[in-house]
Amino acid sequence: MMEDPTLNQKPKVFIPEIKIQARLIELAQEINQAYQGKPIVAICILKGSFIFFSDIIRLLDIPLTCEFLALSSYGSKMVSSGEVKLTLDINEPLEGKHVLIFEDIVDSGLTLTYIMNLLQARKPASVRSCSLLFKPESLKTDVHVDSVGFKIGKEFGVGYGLDYAGKFRGLPYIGCLEHEH
Ligand code: IMP
Ligand code: MG
Integer angstrom CA distances of residue 16 from 30, 61, 129, 141, 147: 22, 25, 23, 29, 20
Q: Is the pLDDT of residue 8 over 90?
A: no
Q: What is the pLDDT of residues 28-86, one digit of tens each?
A: 999 999 999 999 999 999 999 999 999 999 999 999 999 999 998 755 667 666 788 99
pLDDT at residue 123, rounded to an integer: 98
The residues near 101 (Cβ < 8 Å, ≥ 6 apart) are 43, 45, 112, 115, 116, 119, 127, 128, 129, 130
In the reported structure, the alpha carbon of residue 105 is separated from the centroid of ligand 2 by a whole-number distance in angstroms of 6
Instruction: Give residue limits of the domains in the chain.
Output: 5-176
In the reported structure, the alpha carbon of residue 20 is separated from the centroid of ligand 2 by a whole-number distance in angstroms of 17
Q: Please give the CATH number for the structural domain made up of 5-176.
A: 3.40.50.2020
What is the rounded CA–CA span in Å between residue 79 and residue 59? 32
In the reported structure, the alpha carbon of residue 145 is separated from the centroid of ligand 2 by a whole-number distance in angstroms of 14
Q: What is the pLDDT of residues 112-160, one digit of tens each?
A: 999 999 999 999 999 999 999 999 999 999 999 999 999 999 999 999 9
Which residue of 53, 71, 85, 104 sits with most ligand 1 atoms within 8 Å of its CB, as the best mutation to test the pocket?
104
pLDDT at residue 126, rounded to an integer: 98
Q: Is the pLDDT of residue 20 over 70?
A: yes
Nearest Cα neighbor of 134 from 103, 158, 162, 113 is 103
pLDDT at residue 80, rounded to an integer: 67
CA-closest residue to ligand 1 atom 9: 105
Q: What is the pLDDT of residues 64-77, one digit of tens each?
A: 999 999 998 755 66
What is the pTM assigned to this prediction? 0.94
